[in-house]
Structure 1
Amino acid sequence: MILSGVGRRHGARRPWVLRGVDLELPAGTLVRIEGPNGAGKSTLLRLLAGVGAPTEGRVTGRPRTAYVPERFPAALPFTAAGYLVHMGRAHGLTAAEAATRAAGWLERFGAEGYARTPVAELSKGTAQKVAVAQALMAAPGLLVLDEAWTGLDAGARAELDRAVAERLGDGATVVFVDHDPHRLAGASPTAHRLEGAGLVPVTATSEGPRVRIEATCQDPTSVPPELPDGTTLERAGAGTPAAIRLTTTTAHSDPLLRALLAADPPWHITGLTRLPARVPASVPGARADSTTVHGPDGTTAREPDGTYCARDRARGSDHGRDAAPAPADDPPLAPYGRALRRTAALTRYQTALLARSQRWLAPVLLYAAALGIGVRAGQPVLDSLGYASAVLLPVAAWIVRICATQEPPAARAVSAAAVGPRRAHLAALVAGLACALGLGCAGAAFVLLISDPADTGGTVAVPLLPAALAGLGAITCCALLGAAVGALCTRPLVHRRGWSLAAAALGSLSVLVAGVSPANAAVSALVSGSATGTVPSTSLPAAAALAVAAGAAALTSRTSALRG
């Protein structure tokens, strides 16, 4: 993955947050981004994850990506397992695979007891475990962590360290920001620092002299639960007494010795060796000086040459491991099919989010009330269908506005990293349009049940099936144009809620009354046909509305990437 001349600014009149950033991220590398608060670390990570597009420059070669935001939102109307299944399907997993991996990762982070708990009821630390799990369950080729360790307990932090090592061992790239300067120091990350609006490499330095402690104990489980950062643990055997070897810095050696001697039962120190300084592997010509095993179970190991042991990967947990790569002889359109399935999965997620949030209730009640007031039993069917279509347009704009704004920003960033910001925004628009179309079809069925299949004067019979088709065409036309109005009058084009509501109301009215509007043409055709008893064709206005809606969706989806 390569960033070439990437720049990012927030608004045309604001200074550049990033400018001229060049960065190459080979597969299997661990990269740390440093810099003071406000330097643009989170902005850079969002660009790497594909949450937003750069203002200038380009990003090429991005693999399948997962992103953990700095603060994961609690305002999601799903259980922890339900949310993870939705995100797993957005990453391309089947429902069964997503459910299995979700359960596995929750177990690894000690949160299996919260699988059926609503996310809104989780503590900050447990919610953060869900955020980390959604990223790891897809086994991404690029893992972007924005202070992902914040809020996690000691066991979960250690588990995340092991998960990062697993991803690196499988050839993935991991980019992270963390407030702890020693985070993952034992893995020798390549560091870059943001200065001004640019990115400069940090020269790696040695870690200073280290100490190797060898000890035995009758109880192998009495290892201190929290080892200092940068400390490695090796088990010499599974017999009794158990033997371990700990390698740490001189600054951490005395506290570690005291912890071993104070354990119950205490450890017997059998060896104490001073080692030379270790130079990080990112320094040219440097080599690791010993095998490193992260964690007491030996699930992840690094050989002296920096490669990971296939033997230990086979022994380790398979939760969240990637499925087999696609065969090389995949048909040419296979990537498009996979992208379509992932977008469809995110559309289902957006629909479920709308249904569970109950924000649909107000526009649905408004539409039902409008039909109850304006449609009476025995009225001409074409007149009533025209009225039902016209009323649907502002309701559709309202529903699409809800779908475009209902997801919390951090959760939206996670979705955008999974499928891309354009597809994530398009999924929200499609979910809103589908809801509006379903509502319009229900309204049309109600009209057909109680209306009189005759002209306005009641003298000419109107065939019911052609009238129903003409009414559905008008409803489709108004739903599409309402969706276009809703998309254009909210984020990412209009951010202020007051302005958004006013623009949506004015836009809906304008689309209904403008003579050149397809919605006006479709509704007018139904009213005119009712006067003569002739069923009009509304297919042409519906086709024109489809073109307008597609243009609005393309514009707002592109803008959502630029402003993401």
Structure 2
Amino acid sequence: MNLRGVGRRYGFRGPWVVRGVDLDLAARTLVRVEGANGSGKSTLLRLLAGIDRPTEGRLTGRPRTASVPERFPVSLPFTAGGYLVHLGRIHVLRRTVAEARAAEWLERFGAAGHSRTPMSELSKGTSQKVAVAQALLAGPELLVLDQICVTQEPPAARTVAAAKGTSRAHLAALLAAVVFAGVLGTAGTLAVTVISEPRNTDHTVEGSLLAARVAGLVAAAVCLLLGAAVGAPCGRPLLRGRGWPLIATLLVVLPALVGNGSPAKYAITGLVTGSRTGVVQVPGLPLAAAALMAAAAGAVACAVATRRS
């Protein structure tokens, strides 16, 4: 979608709310609009969604669009599920399809328990979840959100992002976990090397402090990469049932870290052996194996998540 010199004002002599907007929006991208209160963000979003028309300029190439306003009326004579089915019928969906999609989106946003709740009794956060669900029912190519994540819990906000691309959201969560674990592992390794002597356990051989630090950092990287390889297929949206991600992780993580053939076991064993002999070997081979396992698990998990979305 392309905007060229787009402007909007209300009334013939009213002040310009937005003016001179030139913007190119590529397909399959996520765009965030930021600005101070009263700067015209909502007006621009209304123009993008086709709810309002520009006073000047051209807007071309708008795809099939759905929007979620900042304020969503809840005083409607429907239950949450009934409202979504009704909107699905307006989108010319068969009733069975509309009912299935309504149930699916309420489940993904954690609001399945409110399917039979009247709209007037929903909390602000839950009503916003319903508003997003109704926008996604017909599979829009462009989804316009106006401050929708401000009052949402992190899982619901993550699901909104996943609607743009499940694999991207899953990969982003995985990378965030790896980065956070990497920071903790690095801090812990450096702290240990600072408070420890560069000698073996018998204090008879002096080792290289630099080699010990590098080996410790690499061993920490091996462990966190294996953790990512375990976590990638053991979380949402692959395992959606309550409690199953934790159970699956507990069943897999122990063999992955200490089982025969585990890169983490080889890396940690090398560190223990080095502490006894005073000669530390950097576990390069285990690092390569762990990186391959993490990459493979992440790719498979993202692919499966996309198929299930």
Q: Would you say same fold, with TM above 0.5?
A: yes
Q: Distance in 2 between matches of 1:503 and 1:462?
A: 41
Distance 1:454 1:563, change over 3 A: same
Report what 1:468 is aligned to. 213
* Pick aligned residue for 1:407 from 151, 154, 160: 154
The 3-state SS of whatever aligns with 2:206 is coil
Cα deviations by residue, 1:465-485 (Å, 9 ceiling, x for unpaired): 011111111000001111221
Distance 1:506 1:458, change over 3 A: farther
Q: Distance in 1 between matches of 2:57 and 2:252?
A: 49
The 3-state SS of whatever aligns with 1:458 is coil
Q: Report whether the alignment pairs 1:495 with 2:240.
A: yes
Deviation, structure 1 residue 558: 1.4
Cα deviations by residue, 1:24-83 (Å, 9 ceiling, x for unpaired): xxx9xxxxxxxxxxxxxxxxxxxxxxxxxxxxxxxxxx96258xxxxxxxxxxxxxxxxx
Distance 1:555 1:177, change over 3 A: same
Q: Distance in 2 between matches of 1:496 and 1:166?
A: 51
Q: Report whether the alignment pairs 1:416 with 2:175.
A: no
**Paired residues for 1:245-284 under 5 Å:** none
Equivalent residues of 1:168, 1:174 under 8 A apart: no
Instruction: Write the letter of the residue equivalent to 2:94.
Output: E
Equivalent residues of 2:205, 2:278 under 8 A apart: yes
Deviation, structure 1 residue 448: 0.8
Equivalent residues of 1:529, 1:536 under 8 A apart: yes
The 3-state SS of whatever aligns with 1:162 is coil
Q: Distance in 2 between matches of 1:102 and 1:433?
A: 36
Deviation, structure 1 residue 169: 4.4
Higher strand residue share: 1
Deviation, structure 1 residue 162: 1.0
Cα deviations by residue, 1:105-141 (Å, 9 ceiling, x for unpaired): 4464xxxxxxxxxxxxxxxxxxxxxxxx8xx3995xx
Report what 2:198 is aligned to. 453
Higher helix residue share: 2
Q: Distance in 1 between matches of 2:186 and 2:278?
A: 22
* Pick aligned residue for 2:51 from 136, 153, 161: 161
**Paired residues for 1:301-450 under 5 Å:** 407-409=154-156, 411-418=157-164, 420-450=165-195
Report what 2:12 is aligned to. none
Equivalent residues of 1:470, 1:538 under 8 A apart: yes
| C-alpha RMSD of matched pairs (Å) | 3.9
Larger Rg: 1
TM-score w.r.t. structure 2 length?
A: 0.59
For structure 1, list consecutive stretches of 5 or more residues without a partner in the other structure: 1-26, 28-61, 67-89, 109-132, 144-159, 181-190, 200-319, 321-352, 358-405
Identity among equivalent pairs (%): 38
Instruction: Write the letter of the residue equivalent to 1:517.
Output: S
Report what 1:64 is aligned to. 27
**Paired residues for 1:136-175 under 5 Å:** 136=45, 139=48, 161-162=51-52, 169-175=59-65
Distance 1:413 1:490, change over 3 A: closer
Deviation, structure 1 residue 502: 2.4
For structure 2, list consecutive stretches of 5 or more residues without a partner in the other structure: 3-24, 77-89, 99-143, 145-149
Deviation, structure 1 residue 489: 1.6
Instruction: Write the letter of the residue equivalent to 2:34.
Output: A
Q: When the two structures are aligned, how many residues end up with a matched partner?
A: 217
Q: Distance in 1 between matches of 2:42 and 2:229?
A: 44
Distance 1:514 1:174, change over 3 A: same
